Chain A
Amino acid sequence: MKPGALNRSMWAFHINTGSCNGCDIEIVASLAPRYDLERFGLRMVGSPRHADLLLVTGPVSRDMESKLKTVYEQMPGPKAVMLIGNCGNTGGVFYESYNLVGPADRIIPVDVYVPGCPPRPEAIIDGLVKLWKKMEIRGVRK
């Protein structure tokens, strides 16, 4: 893939694997007019088959484990994954439970981790910029 090919048009699909929705409303706030991620070329789409980037929030619950894998496989390459919030990274406050199956990177490979509970919209933008740089320099997953 040519470097810079995804700079102006990253299409993202969001999946909530059981989070408290704090991270989700911060994603929405970063798309709202004040932080406005869309001016960087990011667009949310309704189907994983049109997406380049997968935004994952939440500790993965038992029910959502197979769905997360399916969504990841449905995305056509080149693709990237970004984990938002403490729950997906290490479990966060929900570190011990009978219905949660491991942090998300046990199930799908992850490129960028954005910590925070919930992370501020500025942190999400920072994560996105790092992702673009990473894709330019290191290439992406096929």
Chain B
Amino acid sequence: MSKDDAGAGKGEMVGNSFTLSIGPVHPALKEPLRLICEIEGERVVRVDFELSQVHRGVEWMGTRRNPIQILYLSERICGICNICHALAFCRAVESIGDIDVPPRAQYIRTIIAELERIHSHILWAGIMAHEMGFDSVMHYTWRARERVLDTIEYLTGNRITKAMITIGGVRRDIREDQYPVLRETLNFYSDIQAKLEKILLKDPVIRSRTRDTGILSRKDALSLCVVGHVARASGIRKDVRHDEPYAAYPDIGVTPVTPDQMTGEIRGDVYDRIVVRLLELRQSVDIIDKCIRGMPDGRIVHEEKAPKLLAELRGLEGDGIGRHEAPRGEVFHYVKMSKGESPFAWKVRAPTYNNVLSLVPMLTGRQIADIPVIAASIDPCMSCLNRAVVTDSGKRALVDQEAMHRLSVKRTQELKRRLCK
């Protein structure tokens, strides 16, 4: 069997390092993030990664299309956080041209971005539960996720790729007669959030698997420039919605969520990241509620007719930066236009680029059974990132993903027996 088997690295154990495929680990979803860890006995000694399987050349494609075509391309950089790339790109282009976005469009953008955050956090909660072996929680959360997808379809027309955001505003309005459906969804998710808190945070087995596992110290987090919930769980209050005024967030007021708001202390481990995410779910429900209450009237887009908008964009010259707080962290887009059909340069930096380096201090010295849990806790966005292949020390033991997952589940069951006697 070749070492570079397609798939999750199959093969015999021939040495003491192995390849691990990580991702939204349902057996359906493989090939996303790949870590190769060098192990001695049961402990990880070295961690490395390589990202090349999903590189499609999106930034190169962007220099050959006009900005409105790039909107469609940027939505499909990642299937889970697609509004964030479109929003950051639009902010970058709007800042080059000083294009005014009407207030009503800002509020609608906020509502859609927060709905996407709810969907992504619930998906991640299911994955964390699966990694630890709680499959019924995984199915429960994925069933609960369907409600927000239905709401998104009701408002925008599609479940995943929403195509709501355009340069200068949004493409569709959210009318008053649609508010009752939105409010019911928010009530549903307040309920779900309370249940998830009880399931994930109060269970003794989950607590013992996640407390003091995968700790990222504050010093490491600052020097590695991590973003998103990984930074906030380590005590660094970075949140683009709080730090930079855009969309409707400055009117509403967003506080960065840190774990001491619930537990009273900050340890930077996997448990803290779960706490941060569940509190953010509650925060998103609040934000959408405030947006509905304070929705201003007026237009929804700067320029409705696409040919006129394109003509305006063709005359732009300059550089622009657009940032947005995606469910996983800060998304950063840089656009340079120079009076042509297409931008001169485009740079996309997805949040997982910054977060993947944090796996090195988190995994070194841990046991094999902890690896899936820790790697899933940083919420790697597979396609934003490409994969992580882990290097080795010469000999490569390929333990496949199922064996890895089984080790993790076995650990959970041992803990259950010990704690729930």
Is the C-beta of B410 less than 8 angstroms from some C-beta in chain A? no
Is the C-beta of B27 less than 8 angstroms from some C-beta in chain A? yes
Whether B79 and A21, one on each chain, are in contact in the complex, defined by CB atoms closer than 8 angstroms, is yes
Most chain B CB within a 10 A radius of its CB, from A23, A34, A45, A98: A34
With A98-B60, A120-B159 in contact, do A31 and B80 touch (Cβ < 8 Å)? Answer: no
Residue from A28, A34, A70, A97 in contact with B2 in the complex, judged by beta carbons closer than 8 Å: A70
* Closest Cβ–Cβ distance, residue B21 to chain A (whole Å): 10
Most chain A CB within a 10 A radius of its CB, from B7, B60, B78: B7
Q: Which residues of A contact B8 (CB under 8 A)?
A: 46
Cα distance A96–B64 in the bound complex, in angstroms: 10
Is the C-beta of A127 less than 8 angstroms from some C-beta in chain B? no
Chain A 20-49 interface mask (CB, 8 Å, partner B; 1/0)? 111111111101111000000000111110
Interface residues of B in 71-92 (CB under 8 A from A): 72-73, 76-80, 82
With A61-B53, A96-B61 in contact, do A25 and B24 touch (Cβ < 8 Å)? Answer: yes
Cα distance A31–B145 in the bound complex, in angstroms: 13
Binding site for B on A (CB under 8 A): 13-29, 31-34, 44-48, 55, 58-59, 61, 63-64, 66-71, 74, 92-94, 96-100, 117-118, 120
Is the C-beta of B246 less than 8 angstroms from some C-beta in chain A? no
Whether A44 and B27, one on each chain, are in contact in the complex, defined by CB atoms closer than 8 angstroms, is yes
Cα distance A84–B381 in the bound complex, in angstroms: 20
With A61-B54, A63-B52 in contact, do A25 and B79 touch (Cβ < 8 Å)? Answer: yes
Is the C-beta of B251 less than 8 angstroms from some C-beta in chain A? no
Is the C-beta of B207 less than 8 angstroms from some C-beta in chain A? no
Whether B79 and A118, one on each chain, are in contact in the complex, defined by CB atoms closer than 8 angstroms, is yes
Residue from B7, B52, B55, B383 in contact with A48 in the complex, judged by beta carbons closer than 8 Å: B7
Extra contacts, 6 of them, besides A21-B383, A44-B27, A61-B55 (Cβ < 8 A), are A16-B30, A19-B54, A21-B29, A21-B32, A26-B159, A29-B146
With A26-B160, A47-B402, A61-B54 in contact, do A15 and B139 touch (Cβ < 8 Å)? Answer: no
Q: Which residues of A contact B159 (CB under 8 A)?
A: 26, 120
Q: Which residues of A contact B80 (CB under 8 A)?
A: 21-22, 25
Cα distance A118–B52 in the bound complex, in angstroms: 23
Whether B24 and A47, one on each chain, are in contact in the complex, defined by CB atoms closer than 8 angstroms, is no
Is the C-beta of B391 less than 8 angstroms from some C-beta in chain A? no
> Which 8 A-B residue pairs are closest in the complex by CB-CB distance?
A22-B79, A67-B6, A32-B142, A46-B402, A21-B79, A44-B27, A97-B57, A71-B6
Cα distance A13–B123 in the bound complex, in angstroms: 21
Most chain A CB within a 10 A radius of its CB, from B10, B53, B146, B161: B53
A-B contact pairs, 23 of them (CB 8 A): A16-B29, A18-B55, A19-B79, A20-B79, A21-B29, A21-B382, A22-B79, A22-B80, A28-B142, A31-B28, A32-B146, A33-B143, A44-B28, A46-B401, A47-B402, A64-B53, A67-B7, A70-B5, A74-B5, A93-B76, A97-B57, A118-B161, A120-B159
Residue from B29, B60, B78, B401 in contact with A20 in the complex, judged by beta carbons closer than 8 Å: B78
Is the C-beta of B260 less than 8 angstroms from some C-beta in chain A? no
Interface residues of B in 26-53 (CB under 8 A from A): 26-32, 52-53
Total A-B pairs, Cβ < 8 A:
154
Cα distance A17–B53 in the bound complex, in angstroms: 7
Whether B28 and A24, one on each chain, are in contact in the complex, defined by CB atoms closer than 8 angstroms, is yes
Nearest neighbor of A67 in chain B, beta-carbon distance: B6
Q: Which residues of A contact B341 (CB under 8 A)?
A: none
* Closest Cβ–Cβ distance, residue A29 to chain B (whole Å): 7
Q: Which residues of A contact B58 (CB under 8 A)?
A: 94
Nearest neighbor of A121 in chain B, beta-carbon distance: B159
Cα distance A69–B7 in the bound complex, in angstroms: 11
Chain B 358-393 interface mask (CB, 8 Å, partner A; 1/0)? 000000000000000000000001110000000000
Whether B53 and A28, one on each chain, are in contact in the complex, defined by CB atoms closer than 8 angstroms, is no
Whether B54 and A67, one on each chain, are in contact in the complex, defined by CB atoms closer than 8 angstroms, is no
* Closest Cβ–Cβ distance, residue A12 to chain B (whole Å): 8
Residue from A24, A94, A118 in contact with B29 in the complex, judged by beta carbons closer than 8 Å: A24
Nearest neighbor of A31 in chain B, beta-carbon distance: B28
Q: Which residues of A contact B161 (CB under 8 A)?
A: 22, 117-118
* Closest Cβ–Cβ distance, residue A55 to chain B (whole Å): 8
Q: Which residues of A contact B72 (CB under 8 A)?
A: 93
Whether B143 and A25, one on each chain, are in contact in the complex, defined by CB atoms closer than 8 angstroms, is no
Whether A28 and B26, one on each chain, are in contact in the complex, defined by CB atoms closer than 8 angstroms, is yes
